[in-house]
Amino acid sequence: MQAGIDLKLPSIGGAVIYKQARLLQRLERLVAVGVALSSERDTDVILAYIVEAAMELTHADGCTLYLAQGGSLHFEIIRNNSLAIRLGGPAGAKLTLNPIPLYQADGTANLHAVSAAAAIQHRTINLADAYDVDEFDFTGARAFDKANGYRSKSFLTVPLIDHEDEIMGVLQLINALDPDTGGIVEFDRDSQYLAEGLASQAAIVLNKRLLLDRLEALFIAFIKVINAALDEKSPYTHGHCQRVPIITMLLAEAASRTGVGPLKEFVLTDAMRQELELAALMHDCGKITTPVHVVDKSTKLETLFDRIALVDTRFEVLRRDARIGELEALLAQRSPDSGWRGELAARQAGIDAALDAERAFLRAANLGGEAMSENDQSRVREIAERHRWRAPDGEEAPLLSEEEAAMLNIPHGTLSDGERAIINRHIDLTIRMLEGLPWPKHLRHVTEYAGGHHERMDGKGYPRGLTGDQMSVPARMMAIADIFEALTARDRPYKPGKPLSETLAILGRMKQEGHIDPDLFDVFIRERVYLYYARRYLDPEQDDDPDVREIPGYNPDVTLE
């Protein structure tokens, strides 16, 4: 008897030890899965990893992962090893199955679907053989089996419940396989516990990841709202904050694929792409404080209104005073019947013509432009000094005040030095605003990218006077994108959108003058970034098919290694 016991105990003990060792391995795997899930940031990867880990831990042949959304369970991933089915997830074909409603049209719980029942009742449902169960409707499973020559037998359906007792989804495992024989068996207690442990970890990790995704989506949406507000604040620059990111990312993608020249080692990573897109969206957020009358200034004399109307009025006063003066002089020298009316009309016509010419000249000067000649500036000063008009207080005053004359003599555009300084301060505020945000590690470069779009390669830019070697490649990309958009924009108050040939010529000269990155400019031309953008976002007449051989500073014949 004792001998029989001695012979039997080692066999039983060995089986127990083997089972415990295998369970320990599965527990270690569960811990490793939890660690891996907590460190992953990509939601799609997390979902795929949950499915793969669940099948591995429970020795399941198949698995379906549902996500709860809008009162239904949506099919997210389907896997079946025996049938080589891979649907959904990063590496699977697109899923087009209808979601499973948690509640019927009359509001009653949908307890006939096993996945919905597990979600609604917050419980794990473990079935040894679905074909022997009347509680749930497995019509769909039977139809699938018949179409694929398969037998769906054991089911383990586990709800994914987060720390707030909310249903995140459902994990449904199909056909547990015996590790030794490969036959279909029931999901045992250990497999159920492991699946429930994984589901608990997965729900918390998924909740955290989805929360972070939603917060990031909310943040990006908020940025877009700010940009829309900026564009609405200034109808003349409407769309600038939306167009600069498009150009920036086109150039970044082009630089990443170029494979030749000084930028051949540049790689646009997913993290850099996200940072650059956000930076481009927020590059002008500091303009939120720029006065509207400066941002919208369409003429040189415009403040809250265009003061050229006041100048027009003064010319009318000059015309009236001249007529009165001539009339008084003639009346003093002529008798009533001496034909003085014709003489007065002739004299007044000459005065009117001269005044009209000067008024037209000042109106043209008020519009601004790329450059104002020294001769035109001298003529503005001469008109201002020569003409005097009687103001409402009865005192004589110059036709133009010193400030008005200075404004009309602005050599480029419509902004005075003081107003341009106000505009330029937007970048300082942009940097302060962005530096004040608690950026996560993977977005830590947003401020640097956004704050560098007015810097120059030669160190003559602003606000920090950085040189090219002090700037990152993405920051230099934004500088080119900002200039190109400004030149081609059709909604600026003081100029029409320039055609491509003129725009590229200006950029080429900027390259020669050390303003923009020469290597990125070459990529911009060589990869035809300008053309891709123009044919999608510019008026057709702006695409004048520029000859790249005519672009200053660009040589298409240079061989790049």
- The domain that holds 489 is classified in CATH as 1.10.3210.10
Could you read off the pLDDT of 167-208 as tens digits, one per residue? 989 999 999 999 889 999 999 998 899 889 888 888 887 787
Could you check whether the bond before residue 496 is cis, i.e. omega within 30 degrees of 0?
A: no
223 within domain boundaries: no
Q: Which of 413, 428, 455 is the last residue of a domain?
A: 413
Rounded CA separation 47/51 (Å): 7
399-403, 416-420, 452-456 — most confident range: 452-456
Query: Same structural domain for residues 331 and 430?
Result: no
- The DSSP letter of residue 93 is B
Q: Are residues 390 and 409 both part of a single domain?
A: yes
Are residue 160 and residue 45 in the same domain, yes or no? yes
Total domains in the fold of the chain: 3
Residue 390 C-beta-side C-alpha neighbours within 13 Å:
8
pLDDT band per the 50, 70, 90 thresholds, residue 102: very high
Q: Which residues contact 428 (CB under 8 A, 6 or more apart)?
A: 286, 463
Over its C-alpha atoms, the chain yields an Rg (Å, rounded) of: 38
In terms of residues, how long is the chain?
Answer: 561
290 close to 419: Cβ distance less than 8 angstroms? no
* Whether residues 33 and 180 fall in one domain: yes
Q: Are strands 72-80 and 184-185 parallel, antiparallel or unpaired?
A: unpaired
Query: Does the structure show a pLDDT above 90 at 143?
Result: yes
- The reported pTM is 0.60
Q: Of 329-333, 407-411, 468-472, 531-535, which range is least confident?
A: 329-333
Mark which of 349, 379, 413 sits at the end of a domain.
413
Q: Is the dihedral of CA 51, 55, 58, 60 positive or negative?
A: positive
**Site of tokens 């660690």:** 35
Asked if residue 248 and residue 137 are part of one domain, the reply reads no
Distance of CA 429 to the CA centre of its chain: 20
Place of tokens 């497999």: 191
Q: Is residue 556 part of a domain?
A: no
Give every CB contact of residue 532 below 8 A, 6+ residues apart in sequence: 250
Structure confidence at residue 1 (pLDDT): 35
User: For residues 188 and 126, what is the distance between their CA atoms, to the nearest angstrom?
Assistant: 9
Report yes or no: 546 and 504 within 8 Å, Cβ to Cβ: yes
Comparing 491 with 509, which gets the higher pLDDT?
509
What does the alpha-carbon distance between residue 43 and residue 31 come to, in Å, rounded to a whole number?
Answer: 19
Is the pLDDT at 229 greater than 80, yes or no?
no
Please provide the DSSP assignment of 108-143 as one string: -B--SSHHHHHHHHT--EEES-GGG-SSS--HHHHH
HEC per residue, 244-263: HHHHHHHHHHHHHHCCCHHH
Are 321 and 375 found together in one domain? yes
Q: What are the residues whose beta carbons fall under 8 Å from the beta carbon of 520, sequence distance 6 or more?
A: 251, 255, 263, 473, 476, 477, 480
The pLDDT value recorded for residue 234 is 67
Residue 255 forms part of a structural domain: yes
Q: Is residue 558 part of a domain?
A: no
Question: Within a domain: residue 110?
Answer: yes
Residues 443, 212 contacting (CB under 8 angstroms): no
**395, pLDDT greater than 70:** yes
Q: Output the pLDDT for position 380.
A: 87
Where residue 231 falls among pLDDT bands split at 50, 70, 90? low
User: 65 φ, ψ to 5°?
Assistant: -110, 125
Select from 352, 378, 413 the last residue of a domain.
413
Residue 480: which of 252, 267, 262 has the closest Cα? Answer: 252
Distance separating alpha carbons of residues 33 and 13, to the nearest angstrom: 30
Mean pLDDT of the chain: 83
**Any idea which of 94-98, 222-226, 513-517 has the lowest mean pLDDT?**
222-226
| Strand partners of residue 76 | none
Three-point CA angle 321, 324, 325, nearest 5°: 85
Between CA 119 and CA 67 the distance in angstroms is 10
Residue 8 clears pLDDT 50, i.e. is over it: no
Which percentage of the chain shows pLDDT scores above 70? 84
One domain, residues 37 and 164: yes
The answer, yes or no, to whether residue 484 has pLDDT greater than 80, is: yes
Clarify whether residues 508 and 406 are in a common domain: no
47: nearest Cα among 135, 190, 169, 165: 169
Is the pLDDT reported for residue 5 higher than 70?
no
Residue 302, domain member (yes or no): no
User: In degrees to the nearest 10, what's the CA dihedral of 302, 306, 310, 311?
Assistant: 70
Both 15 and 162 in a single domain? Answer: yes
Q: Which two tokens stand for residue 380?
A: 């503005």
Q: 461 with 510, same domain?
A: yes
Q: Please write the tens of the pLDDT for every residue from 315-360.
A: 777 777 777 777 677 666 655 555 666 777 777 788 888 888 888 8
Identify whether residues 422 and 409 lie together within a single domain. Answer: no
Task: Using pLDDT thresholds of 50, 70 and 90, give the confidence band for residue 83.
Answer: very high
Band the pLDDT of 9: cuts 50, 70, 90: very low
Confirm whether 561 is domain-assigned: no
| Mean pLDDT of the region 368-395 | 81
Kindly report which listed range (419-423, 472-476, 548-552) carries the lowest average pLDDT score: 419-423
3-state helix, strand, coil in the chain (%, to 5): 60, 10, 30
Question: Domain limits at 326?
Answer: 308-413
Q: Please, which residues have CB within 8 angstroms of residue 45's CB and are 6 or more apart in sequence?
A: 90
127 and 8 within one domain: yes
In a domain, 11, yes or no: yes
* Segment 268-315, tens digit of pLDDT: 998 899 899 989 988 887 777 666 666 666 676 777 667 777 777 877
